[in-house]
Structure 1
Amino acid sequence: MCGQAGSKIADSNEEIEDVEVLWDMLQKGETKSLLKKHLTTEVYEKLKDKKTSLGGTLAQCINSGCKNMHSGVGLYACDPEAYSVFKELFDPLIMDYHKISKVQHPKPDFGDVDNLDFSDLDPSGEVIVSTRVRVGRSHAGYPFPPGSNEQKRREMEANTIKALEKLDGELQGKYFSLETMKKEEEQQLVADHFLFKDDDKCLRSACGYNDWPAGRGIYFSNDKKFLVWINEEDHLRFISMQKGGNLAEVWKRLVKAIKVLEENLTFARDDGHGYLTFCPTNLGTTCRASVHIKVPKLSKAPRENGEPGSRLDEVCEKFNLQPRGIHGEHTESVGGVYDISNKRRMGLTEIEALMEMKNGILEIMTIEKELE
């Protein structure tokens, strides 16, 4: 087990098993993961001895999925090159997960932020508790967690801090290292949904918490409406958030920050996959736009088609949305409040992903009101 945040650097890191041992585990284990589905004998034999220029291996990519049979996906990229070196595995899995017929992604398009056709989705302030949009980014030329080490993490941290110093106005703020943060501060930031933790079993097996908490920390603007996570799952997560439903304000703030940081950092990206991330589920736009929304009636109402599940699930599926508990994936709702976000990341632009979420949320709000 890795050490907890705020403690000394972990003495024990996750070990990558030999690829043949992992292959044997996958064959004997009972799992419905996409890794098991797409890592056929033919693909395994073709890829098992390949390496990226950064030294990345197939074993690093599949270590977590072979050790966690409950995983739905089970595959992580060892570094940005993994998507090309191990494409015979990644591409079919990506197409399966993202429901696309070809690994192809459009150029970035954040829309005309000065003339958006939406603003506050809930002017009354009675339904939407908060709004949040985040994107992931990876430093070009650096490995993902399985191939990284303390030195590389500290280099990425230092480079990012220099770039963050270029932010001004509402984006200006301060960086806080997990290594020096007081335990009370850390616990409060986690409780406020600002800070990440080291408690995901699958991510741990993917070396996501190696050298914890070295090279990791959080930047937030003075008003805490813009955040940057450094060396959590991805190298970087940029997050814009605020109370209420003013999606336009949240989006404009995020896009402004991205443009400044892109001038000072180089991010890993290719024309087929879009922005490259550690987990293939986050490729493409890497954009997750979400609201914490009160839907106590919709979440309890049965589906109109009579199938198992709630009316909320039915509407979310229609708009490619993903409902979660307010504490993240695999958690339960509290008081009828759900975290609802766009599910699609690939094959559409950033503004299209945002609009898909917006349209779905507006319909959810309409139906919730009709059920009164």
Structure 2
Amino acid sequence: MPMNKWYEQGGEQEDVVISTRIRLARSLPGYPYPQRMNAAGRRQIEQMVFEAATDENTAVGHQFAYQSMEEIARMEGLSLAERRLVRPDFPASRQGGLLFTQDEAVSLVVNDEDHLRIQVFHAGLDLENAYAEADRMDTILDKALHFAFDTKLGYLTQDPQNLGTGMRASLLLHLPALHENGSLGRIAAGLAKLGLSLEEEPFDTEQESEGTARYLLSNRLTLGLSEEDALRNLKSIAQQLLVQERTARLTLAEKLEVQDAVSRALGVLQNARMISNQEMASLLYSVRFGVATGLLSGVAYEKLDALLMELQPATLTLACGRRLTQSQRESLRAEIIHRVLV
């Protein structure tokens, strides 16, 4: 029986926090970083990680699927990037690999910028549990791979910015009210002084403006700060943003034109015969705002988030199992949305 994906599950504070991601960058001692390695060296690293992750004698507790970037089809690579499992340009590099669980909550990226990156995704605000799983995997894999570590610099990584903990914790936020009132630039500047980053995270990187108001809040400091302190700081700031966003939403939701836009968004999604990827994102995030402010009811956040993940072009095409023209894809997307939301 197929397992639900992590993004199909509900999460804490999900009206604002879409997802939590913990990423640990690790390297293996005695090997050049992937960009300086030859093909034989990269394959050796992949084999070592694969054996460590799939060893039945350890307490890994996960069954991983494996995808080699050397062998991956273009559409599959695009879908991995759409689902945030890899950087968009990683599949095109034709080197490295990816191990991931059926629910896609835990993944191991091999030979990208570092020898290994451990990733854990959870729905909503769940920094503690996501980190606990990443740390558990880190401990198990370290016993077999012996990650490069310096007593002063911490974990050694290709990018000096990741020295220390090697941890990048991030929260994907939906901040339409703060985006609308123009306060996010000031907020981001203040957070930068605290070692945190708040940057717009477009749903479709090829579009200059899409109106989804997605932002990524993450830690920038990895050296001289423990993982626990970094997570505590990030959560504290996130909770402040939650309060500010919810307060601003009260004012925004009172505007008649906003109420109209939310109602129209749901109407289009329920009745359109064709929907583009960009239009889908704009409309579904408008509906998400409507649910959060009580303008709409009867729609679960996890259903909206699953649609946004699974109806992206490459992912939708793969699920269909055949090549689709743009018109066919837009028609199928509208049909699926109609079934879910009506």
User: What TM-score, normalized by structure 2, do the two folds share?
Assistant: 0.62
More helix by share: 2
CA distance 1:324–1:219, shift in 2 (3 Å):
same
CA distance in 1, matches of 2:81, 2:71: 16
**What's the offset of the Cα at 1:195?**
2.0
**What's the offset of the Cα at 1:130?**
0.8
Is the Cα–Cα contact under 8 Å of residues 170 and 222 in structure 1 kept in the other structure? no
Residue of structure 1 equivalent to 2:227: 350
Residue of structure 2 equivalent to 1:322: 197
**What's the offset of the Cα at 1:141?**
0.5
- 1:172 aligned to 2:63? yes
CA distance 1:125–1:188, shift in 2 (3 Å):
same
Residue of structure 2 equivalent to 1:236: 116
Is the Cα–Cα contact under 8 Å of residues 127 and 231 in structure 2 kept in the other structure? no
Greater Cα shift, 167-176 or 346-355: 167-176
CA distance 1:333–1:243, shift in 2 (3 Å):
farther
- Whichever residue aligns with residue 134 of structure 2, its letter is L
Q: Between Structure 1 and Structure 2, how many residues are aligned?
A: 235
CA distance 1:123–1:144, shift in 2 (3 Å):
closer
Is the Cα–Cα contact under 8 Å of residues 60 and 137 in structure 2 kept in the other structure? no
- 1:191 aligned to 2:191? no
Structure 2 spans left out of the alignment, 5+ residues: 1-9, 251-342
Is the Cα–Cα contact under 8 Å of residues 301 and 310 in structure 1 kept in the other structure? no
**What's the offset of the Cα at 1:168?**
5.3
- 1:250 aligned to 2:130? yes
Where has structure 1 moved over 6 Å in runs of 4 or more?
A: 330-333
Residue 26 of structure 2: which of 137, 143, 152 is its match?
137
C-alpha RMSD of the superposition: 2.7
CA distance in 2, matches of 1:164, 1:175: 11
**What's the offset of the Cα at 1:343?**
1.2
CA distance in 1, matches of 2:39, 2:166: 25
Residue of structure 1 equivalent to 2:145: 265
**What's the offset of the Cα at 1:312?**
2.9
CA distance 1:334–1:235, shift in 2 (3 Å):
farther
CA distance in 1, matches of 2:90, 2:142: 30
Residue of structure 2 equivalent to 1:313: 188
The residue matched to 2:117 in structure 1 has which SS? strand
**What's the offset of the Cα at 1:323?**
1.6
- Whichever residue aligns with residue 149 of structure 1, its letter is N
Is the Cα–Cα contact under 8 Å of residues 144 and 278 in structure 1 kept in the other structure? yes
Structure 1 spans left out of the alignment, 5+ residues: 1-120, 201-208, 304-308
CA distance in 2, matches of 1:297, 1:312: 13
User: What TM-score, normalized by structure 1, do the two folds share?
Assistant: 0.58
The residue matched to 1:232 in structure 2 has which SS? coil
**What's the offset of the Cα at 1:344?**
0.8
